[in-house]
Amino acid sequence: MAKDWMASCDEAEKEMVYQSAYKAYMALGKMIQILLCATMLLHLVFHTGILAVIVVGVVYLTMTLTYNHSCVSLQKAKLNP
């Protein structure tokens, strides 16, 4: 469904979507870093358990690896037409 919608967009709309997605990615990256630091500090001070730190870390790792995998795939596609 999202692919159909994206296919129906013109170039200006696609550019707006891409720029918005990048800004959202950057904001989420900063927020997850803050949450990771907060969960680690809370674990040290209140002994809340390591699960929250692991969950936030996995979310951050997933986001970063997905972004990097996408960049590598797009670079390969440009190099091998």
pLDDT greater than 80 at residue 14: yes
Tokens 């870093």 correspond to: 33
pLDDT at 81 over 80: no
Beta strand extents in the chain (DSSP E only) = none
Summarize pLDDT for 32-66 with one digit per residue, the tens.
999 999 999 999 999 999 999 999 999 999 999 99
Contact (Cβ atoms closer than 8 angstroms) between residue 63 and residue 29: yes
- C-alpha 67/C-alpha 75 separation (Å) is 12
pTM of the model: 0.84
Helices (H) and strands (E) in the chain, counts: 3, 0
